[in-house]
């Protein structure tokens, strides 16, 4: 697909991006800032339509947002007028669960993401790390076919980010949901992905596809082991040169 904003004369966010994600696969889209990562994700979610091309999920074209795609935004977008528990219970309720059942699912997930005791808290009372835990739980609770994550941990401090990455890893390794995550963080990509798609600077297009062969279950100690060095330096060089183009384009 290609995505252009503002008509023919407008700005091209990404061009001829083509990829496939298999069921149960964790794919990371890695790219420099402003290369169209969010736009690609939004098109997959059905928030925007690609200018050219299309998105298929299980062979059906995506034309509008639906519960098939769970999305976790970079800034949390939790609803401040609902409690933690109510935010997480939305997905199950919309799928037709009774209120009691939805609440049970919600509580179990609150427990799973380590927020026991905060069920009735309001969103404004939570720290950044805690809101992203709720955000993750809310997305998981809706049990979507595909989970889309837009730089979910970019706004967190490095310690909290590592905690969250390990949490996501352990949840994913148990559930094997289909995940598409975009990031500009190489370590994050190496830690989480089965496969990495490297995007060029804007207009983004796929300039590299890499298998990430490390054994699972993984943990953050993977990143300090020798086995990642080769792929990491390769990605670093490529991303660096794309990032430089971004900076030059801006001048």
Partner 1 sequence: MVKLRQSVLPLALVAVLWEVLAHAGLLNMSFLPPPTKITLALLEMGASGELSTDLIMSVTRALGGFLAGTVVGVLLGIGTARTSLGRYFLLPVLQSLRSIPSIAILPFAILLLGLNEVSKYFLVFWGVFFPVWVNSHIGIAGVDTQYIWAARSLGVQGWRLLWEVVLPAAVPLIVAGMRVGIGLAFLNLVAAEMSGASAGLGYRVSASHLVFRPDKMLAALAALSLLGMAADAAFGLLVKRILPWSVDRS
Query: In what helix (H) or strand (E) does residue 210 lie, and over which residues does it extend?
Result: strand 206-211
Q: How far is the CB of 236 from ligand ATP (least distance, A)?
A: 17
Among all chains, which residue has been given the structure tokens 């309001």? 122
Write out the DSSP string of 42-96.
Answer: HHHHTSS--SBS--EETTEE--S--TTEEEE-SS----TTSBHHHHHHHHHHHTT
Asked whether position 38 contacts Mg ion by CB under 5 A, the answer is yes
Q: How far is the CB of 241 from Mg ion (least distance, A)?
A: 20
Neighbours of 250 (CB within 10 A): 9
Asked whether position 138 contacts partner 1 by CB under 8 A, the answer is yes
Q: Looking at 90, 154, 171, 223, which residue binds partner 1 (CB under 8 A)? A: 90
Q: For binding to ligand ATP (CB under 6 A), which residues are involved?
A: 5-6, 11, 13, 31, 33-39, 184, 202
Taking CB under 8 A as the binding criterion, the range among 9-17, 18-26, 90-98, 189-197 that sits at the site for partner 1 is: 90-98
Residue 47 token pair: 């928030």
87 or 200: CB nearest partner 1: 87
32 or 46: CB nearest partner 1: 46
Q: Which does 29 bind (CB under 5 to 8 A by kind): partner 1, Mg ion, ligand ATP, none?
A: none
What is the three-class DSSP state of 110? helix
Q: Which does 18 bind (CB under 5 to 8 A by kind): ligand ATP, Mg ion, partner 1, none?
A: none
Asked whether position 246 contacts Mg ion by CB under 5 A, the answer is no
Site string for partner 1, 21-50 (x = CB under 8 A): ---------------------x--xxx---
Neighbours of 160 (CB within 10 A): 17
- Strand 3-5 and strand 11-14: the pairing is antiparallel
Q: How far is the CB of 226 from ligand ATP (least distance, A)?
A: 30
Rounded Cα distance between 150 and 130, Å, is: 17
Neighbours of 226 (CB within 10 A): 6
Among all chains, which residue has been given the structure tokens 């955000």? 135
């Amino acid at each position: 697909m290609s995505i252009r904003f503002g008509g023919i004369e407008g700005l091209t966010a990404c061009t001829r991006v083509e990829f496939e994600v298999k069921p149960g696969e964790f794919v990371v889209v890695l790219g420099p800032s402003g290369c169209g990562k969010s736009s690609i994700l939004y098109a997959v979610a059905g928030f925007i339509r690609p200018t050219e091309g299309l998105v298929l999920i299980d062979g059906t074209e995506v034309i509008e947002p639906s519960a098939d795609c769970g999305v976790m935004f970079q800034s949390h977008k939790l609803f401040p007028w609902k409690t933690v528990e109510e935010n997480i219970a939305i997905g199950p309720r919309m799928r037709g669960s009774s209120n009691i059942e939805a609440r049970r699912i919600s509580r179990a997930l609150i427990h799973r993401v380590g927020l026991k005791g905060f069920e009735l808290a309001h969103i404004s009372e939570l720290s950044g790390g805690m809101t992203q835990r709720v955000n993750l739980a809310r997305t998981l609770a809706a049990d979507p076919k595909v989970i889309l994550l837009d730089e979910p941990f970019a706004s967190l401090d490095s310690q909290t980010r590592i905690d969250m990455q390990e949490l996501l890893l352990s949840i994913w390794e148990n559930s094997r949901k289909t995940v598409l995550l975009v990031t500009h963080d190489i370590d994050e990509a190496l830690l989480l992905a089965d496969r990495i798609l490297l995007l060029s600077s804007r207009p983004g297009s796929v300039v590299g596809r890499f298998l990430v062969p490390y054994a699972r279950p993984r943990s953050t100690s993977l990143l300090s082991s020798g086995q990642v060095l080769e792929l990491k330096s390769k990605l670093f060089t490529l991303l660096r040169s794309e990032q430089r183009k971004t900076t030059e384009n801006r001048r």
